[in-house]
Amino acid sequence: MGRLEGKVVIVTGSASGIGAATAVRLGAEGATVVGFDATPHDDDIVLDVRDEAAVGAAVAGVAGDHGRIDALVNAAGVAGGGPVHLVDADEWDRIVDINLKGTFLTNKHVVAQMVDQEPDGLGQRGSIVNIASIEGLEGTEGGSAYNASKGGVVILTKNIALDYGRKGIRANCVCPGFIDTPMMMAVFDMGGMDDVRRSFVETHALGRIGRPEEIAAAALFLVSDDASFVSGTSLVVDGGYTAGHQHGIVEMMGLG
Ligand SMILES: NC(=O)c1ccc[n+]([C@@H]2O[C@H](COP(=O)([O-])OP(=O)(O)OC[C@H]3O[C@@H](n4cnc5c(N)ncnc54)[C@H](O)[C@@H]3O)[C@@H](O)[C@H]2O)c1
């Protein structure tokens, strides 16, 4: 029997990368998964997470069809940024609106449904998992708009955990390191990025970037009853990217 048998879960960003891997993994664990994405994909509901009317109608539709919503994994997002004096204000708005306001809107409508449903045997009404980033916890050069949006997601999630904990709703972030998805590859494949790409890979203590399935596994944990006492946290899944700094000393000492 799967770990999510009988659960109903919405996954945003389900057409690609981390969201797609999460939808597959949660489905394999027995959940009924409904995907939301701006890009058409399988039976996913096509919507823009910035469109409150569309988000509200889609969430109400899932609740109507399935009777409840046990979890939301919010993975829709876009990359972008730059040193601030080079960032166009419209581009700032686009990134922050999709990554942060989109998170607010999906969380808002799913939480509104969760507070009105009966708790399960563990007293839980639902679990919210927002895919933030290690770039929402610490800076990366050139990150500006993206990093600000992800920092906003981290603190928004903590507030939701505080506001709804006594209603039996848990809210957590997953903060991935750099993951092999179309979003990341579009950045790495830009001209002149070979050295930057190598540097990013080497900065992970494990010496590689991650796979979408490794983030899906963390989202599964936070959705599942195994995480019944986990709320308000930011689960870093980054292959040691934020563990600290490496300067070649252990290599010098013979650890090749
Ligand atoms: N790939 C990484 O290295 C990495 C690292 C940390 C965090 N993240 C975060 O993980 C999440 C998933 O990223 P990914 O790497 O899988 O990217 P991806 O580009 O492969 O997938 C993102 C999905 O979001 C959808 N989307 C974008 N804008 C949307 C909108 N306005 N409304 C609805 N759907 C929209 C896209 O259509 C796409 O299917 C993002 O929030 C991203 O910021 C990614």
pLDDT in tens, 154-172: 999 999 999 999 999 999 9
Mean pLDDT of 2-23: 98
CA of 1 to the centre of ligand 1 (A): 30
Mean pLDDT of 180-197: 92
- pLDDT of the residue at 130: 99
* Length of the chain as a residue count: 256
Q: Are 223 and 169 in contact (CB under 8 A)?
A: no
Residues 205-227 have pLDDT tens digits of 999 999 999 999 999 999 999 99
Q: What are the boundaries of each domain within the chain? A: 8-252
- Is pLDDT larger for residue 189 or for residue 148? 148
Residue 143 Cβ < 6 Å to ligand 1: no
- pLDDT of the residue at 115: 98
Atom of ligand 1 nearest to the CA of 215: 10
For a pocket test of ligand 1, which of 10, 11, 16 has the largest count of ligand atoms closer than 8 A to its C-beta? 16
pTM above 0.85, yes or no: yes
* CB neighbours of residue 89 within 10 Å: 8
Q: Is the pLDDT of residue 52 over 90?
A: yes
Residue 100 Cβ < 6 Å to ligand 1: no
Helix locations, 52-207, DSSP H: 52-66, 89-96, 102-115, 144-164, 182-188, 194-203
- pLDDT of the residue at 26: 98
Tokens of 78: 């876009």
Fold of 8-252: Rossmann fold (3.40.50)
Taking CA atoms only, the protein residue closest to ligand 1 atom 40 is: 77
Q: Which residues pair with 88 in a beta bridge?
A: none
- pLDDT of the residue at 256: 74
Q: What SS3 state is found at 177?
A: coil
pLDDT band at 1 (very low <50, low <70, confident <90, very high): confident
Mean pLDDT of 29-37: 98
Residues 63-113 have pLDDT tens digits of 999 999 999 999 999 999 999 999 999 999 999 999 999 999 999 999 999
Residue 236 Cβ < 6 Å to ligand 1: no
Positions marked active-site: 146
| Cβ contacts of 116 within 8 Å, gap of 6 or more | none
